[in-house]
Structure 1
Amino acid sequence: MPNAKHAQRLAIALLAALALVACSKNEDHAADPAAEARSSSAGLPEGRIAVGEQLANAKGKATGQSCIDCHGADGNAPIDGTYPKLGGQYADYLAHALQDYRGGRRQHALMTPQATSLTDQEIADLSAYFGSRPSQLRDLHGVY
């Protein structure tokens, strides 16, 4: 059966080609150290938890407030019920939110000016810190 052997060889060749494409993409990624350091869907560098903790406690130039002043210790005790709990939130979610505040796509009287001067690395660090904290978030499924 020449057709069966031909189909089998074609399938093997196709799989080999797909494997080569996948490997070449990994090589391209490895050739770009900056791309390798990007770790989130927000396209940010790897977040550093310890640096994020320092940033979370530092007073912002724009408002004179720190993240902790408004969101509480570990991001779990907001001073106002309308402020979100940040502790244990997905780091990528936090990063996207901060990028949106920085870019003006999301507006808040305090957050927009606080985020305006944040660098990509600072956003990654803050997101990593708050994402690493114990979570008090809860699923509201079934809550009426």
Structure 2
Amino acid sequence: MHRQVLTITLILLMFNVFGRDEGSTTDDSGLAFEDKLAACAACHGVNGDAPLAPDYPVLAGQYKDYLQSALSDYKTGRRQHMIMNMQVEALQLSDSDIERLSAYFASKSGVVGLGE
């Protein structure tokens, strides 16, 4: 399962890197914000409301502060999850990336009734 997730992520990144607009800007990691968002979408869905696996969280509608805290904790190693720690490291998420990703997913509608 983990290999499948990583393969999907790499494929999405490849298409997004080679197919993005000329106006997209990259940071020190060489990836545009859209590439980093695509990496999240590979497991959590474009809007963060369609996780690939049942044990992956829905990001849509989560509190921005919670998402920022979780991503920051993965970045520093305070929070451990094999895939997330590798993703955060591979994407070289900056504090600005973490803030933008958190704001994006927090602005999306959450899934009503999940877990009921």
- Normalising by structure 1, report the TM-score: 0.52
Alignment of 1:42-57 (within 5 A): 54=34, 55-57=36-38
2:26 corresponds to which residue?
A: none
Distance 1:79 1:97 in 2: 19
Distance 1:79 1:139 in 2: 15
- Normalising by structure 2, report the TM-score: 0.64
Higher-Rg structure is 1
1:95 aligned to which of 52, 68, 73: 68
Offset at residue 115 of structure 1 (A): 1.5
Alignment of 1:64-143 (within 5 A): 66-116=39-89, 117-136=92-111, 138=113
Contact 1:88 1:130 in 2 (8 A): yes
4+ residue stretches of structure 1 with deviation over 6 A?
Answer: none
RMSD (Å), alpha carbons: 2.0
Distance 2:57 2:112 in 1: 9
Offset at residue 138 of structure 1 (A): 4.7
Contact 1:89 1:137 in 2 (8 A): no
Which ranges in structure 2 are unaligned for 5 or more consecutive residues? 1-31
Offset at residue 84 of structure 1 (A): 0.0
Partner-residue secondary structure (3-state), 2:82: coil
Distance 1:102 1:90 in 2: 19
CA offsets, 1:94-144, max 9 Å, x none? 00000000000111111012123211000000000000111115586xx6x
Amino acid at match of 1:56: L
Which ranges in structure 1 are unaligned for 5 or more consecutive residues? 1-50, 58-65
